[in-house]
């Protein structure tokens, strides 16, 4: 099977508006929640991934994200993370960041704690 080379994605640093289109959970080697956000980048649809540990507490990164989306914290309660986040309109801030393996290569990243419910 042949694959086509793609040009690198360049996203201007700054605030963007998008929609959560996918939420996945990884269990190995660590438990992580992956949130995929789709947005328009100068006429081209781009999907960026925002990740946080799947540690659900009142003070965790994921817990704070859900609380900021209006989901009420309930001690010993349960929440369907995918159902609560999927299809939500969001605002977030991005930056182009150097790769740890090759600092000359840049990639777009959603800055921690900037993913917020739009409106």
pLDDT of 77? 92
Which pLDDT tens digit goes with each residue over 43-90?
Answer: 889 999 999 999 999 999 999 999 999 999 988 899 999 999 999 999
The yes-or-no verdict on residue 117 having pLDDT over 90 is yes
pLDDT of 34? 98
- Average of per-residue pLDDT across 79-106: 95
pTM: 0.90
Nearest in space to 44 (alpha carbons), one of 108, 119, 115, 112: 108
- CA dist list (Å): 116 to 5, 15, 107: 33, 11, 21
Question: Could you tell me the domains of the chain?
Answer: 14-117 (2.40.50)
pLDDT of 119? 83
Report how far residue 119's alpha carbon sits from residue 106's, in angstroms, rounded to the nearest whole number.
31
Tokens of 73: 């914290």
């Amino acid at each position: 099977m042949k694959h086509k080379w793609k040009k690198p994605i360049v996203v201007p640093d700054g605030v963007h508006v998008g929609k959560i289109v996918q939420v996945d959970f990884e269990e190995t080697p660590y438990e992580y929640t992956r949130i995929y956000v789709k947005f328009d980048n100068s006429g081209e649809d781009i999907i960026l991934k925002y990740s946080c540990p799947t540690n659900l507490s009142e003070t965790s990164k994921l817990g704070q994200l859900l609380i900021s989306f209006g989901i009420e914290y309930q001690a010993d309660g349960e929440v369907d993370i995918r159902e609560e986040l999927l299809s939500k309109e969001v605002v977030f801030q991005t930056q182009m960041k150097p790769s740890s393996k090759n600092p000359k290569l840049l990639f777009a990243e959603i800055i921690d704690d900037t993913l917020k419910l739009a409106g």
